[in-house]
Amino acid sequence: MILTPYSDMSPVPRIHMRLDGLNATADRVTVAEVGPGGERVVRGGYRVPATSVIVLDDFLAPLNRPVRYRVQQLDAAGGVLAEDEYTSAQIIYHGTVVQHIIDPYRSTEARLLVGSEDKLEWEHDGSMVRPGNARMPTWVGSGRWPLQGIPLKLGTDTAEQEAAMRMVLGIDLVGDEDSLPIIALRTSHPVRFPQPLQAVVKAPSARGLDWISGGSLTHWTMTADEVRPPGAALVRAAITWADLMASAPTWASVASSYPTWADVMTDYSLAGLSNAA
């Protein structure tokens, strides 16, 4: 497995994966990060067909530390044929990135402002019960909630960042288009909440610091609640068939430009061409 970290915003800092040489009898492959908090299946890497070359990007890879991945090769019945671990070099990035949970192309850099951790709250489900005439009550519980009510405060400095943040938060979508209000946040700051922070943001608000004079300095405040992200099989395709056809209108021109299909899937200059056409 070849692991290549990228620190640029194309679309976000990420680790690019290329996996080949699979077991000939493998039917499916699952790729997961193995971190301090347990396993996180890479979005788009859950039980994908075991083709000759598998190309993935981990758009939620942790920043500024080596990242360990576990690759499981499964047979047609779901049994594990092989399990291997690989370690990637770290993504060197200093700052804060906010992105939509499914679509990393809806993303922006931002400033994490003071006060984003003013209060962190966890809650345990349950109640106190005092049976009969017992003096001491008994706790009857059913588990712990994740972080709720994180007071995130973010800053954007340019018109481009403001517009991108609106897209991340699902504010400026066209017509009746709706958006899942779940974001992912990664930062190089030493925060106490988990990273990537995957949280629902129901009611974001924006305050313009210099809008009245035509500027774009904006402070965003939002209450973020940790939530289980959508299934890892849900993913936005980086390169679509329409993108490829916008670049090369015939199959002959595709074949003459790319020696293998893997070369097509790793040419990220194609991403979004159909939208620009």
DSSP notation for 162-199: HHHHHHHTT-S--TT-----EEEEEESS--SS-SSEEE
pLDDT tier at 156, thresholds 50, 70, 90: very high
pLDDT in tens, 95-142: 999 999 999 999 999 999 999 988 888 889 999 998 888 889 999 988
- The pLDDT score that the predictor gives to residue 9 is 94
Q: What is the mean pLDDT of residues 34-61?
A: 90
Give CA torsion, residues 260, 263, 264, 269, to 10 deg: -160
Instruction: Please state whether the peptide bond connecting residue 11 to the residue before it is cis, i.e. omega within 30 degrees of 0.
Output: yes
- The pLDDT score that the predictor gives to residue 222 is 95
- Select from 33, 40, 16, 13 the least CA-distant residue to 86: 33
Are 53 and 104 spatial neighbours (Cβ–Cβ below 8 Å)? no
Max CA distance (Å), the chain: 85
Q: What is the mean pLDDT of residues 135-160?
A: 92
pLDDT in tens, 54-109: 889 999 999 999 999 999 999 988 899 989 999 999 999 999 999 999 999 999 99
pLDDT in tens, 179-216: 899 999 999 999 999 989 999 999 999 999 999 999 99
DSSP notation for 220-250: EEEEEEE-PPSPTT----SS-HHHHHHH-SS
Q: What is the mean pLDDT of residues 225-247?
A: 78
* Distances in whole angstroms, Cα of residue 220 to Cα of each of 7, 54, 62, 122, 162: 24, 38, 23, 23, 10
Are 217 and 210 spatial neighbours (Cβ–Cβ below 8 Å)? yes
Q: List CB contacts of 123: < 8 A, sequence separation 6 or more.
A: 144, 145, 148
Are 247 and 275 spatial neighbours (Cβ–Cβ below 8 Å)? no
pTM: 0.83
Phi/psi at 84 (5° precision):
-130, 155
